[in-house]
Amino acid sequence: RDRQKSYADLKRKPMKFQVGDKVMLKVSPWKRVVRFGKWGKLNPRYVGPFKVLERIGDVAYKLDLPKELSRVHNTLHVSNLKKCHADEPLAVLLDGLPLDDKFHFVEMPVEIIDREVKRLKQSRIPLVKVRWNSKRGPEFT
């Protein structure tokens, strides 16, 4: 077991946070389980930043989570955290993301920008370019 642990530890990097550090919370899908939203490659993988309140043991931390995440326990394993290196305004904030009660992202179409009809042999395929109400900005369609 010690030999196996030594091989596994070579792939891991030790992560330790101090009280008051800003960390990002991992919300990406894992093992076909959808957490905090729909399955998709363009969804944010981390949300935050959140402040570390307390260190519990060697691998657990207590975070200052907002009331939108009241159903998520505020004590998390270090594997679900990532140090926040970005400035505050550049980070994806949780209050800007429209979430329903099951933590699915809610995006609604705002306007239709462009329409086009492509022809494929005998059929016609309508293509529509839509602007969404996402936090990412109006340039994302």
Question: At residue 62, what are phi and psi to the nearest 5 degrees?
Answer: -100, 130
Question: Higher model confidence: residue 76 or residue 135?
Answer: 76
In whole angstroms, give the CA distance from residue 74 to residue 80: 12
Q: Are 44 and 105 in contact (CB under 8 A)?
A: no
Residue 123 has pLDDT above 90, yes or no: yes
The CATH number corresponding to 2-102 among 1.25.40, 2.30.30, 2.40.30, 1.10.3470 equals: 2.30.30
**Per-residue buried b or exposed e for 104-114, using 16+ beta carbons within 10 Å of the residue's own CB:** ebebeeeeeee
* pLDDT tens per residue, range 47-70: 878 899 999 988 899 999 888 777
Residue 86 has pLDDT above 80, yes or no: no
Structure confidence at residue 94 as a pLDDT band (50, 70, 90): low
User: What's the rounded mean pLDDT across residues 114-119?
Assistant: 91
Domain spans in the chain, listed from the N-terminal domain onward: 2-102, 107-141
- Residues with Cβ within 8 Å of residue 82, at least 6 apart in sequence: 23, 24, 26, 46
* pLDDT tens per residue, range 29-53: 555 454 555 566 666 778 878 899 9
This prediction has a pTM of 0.52
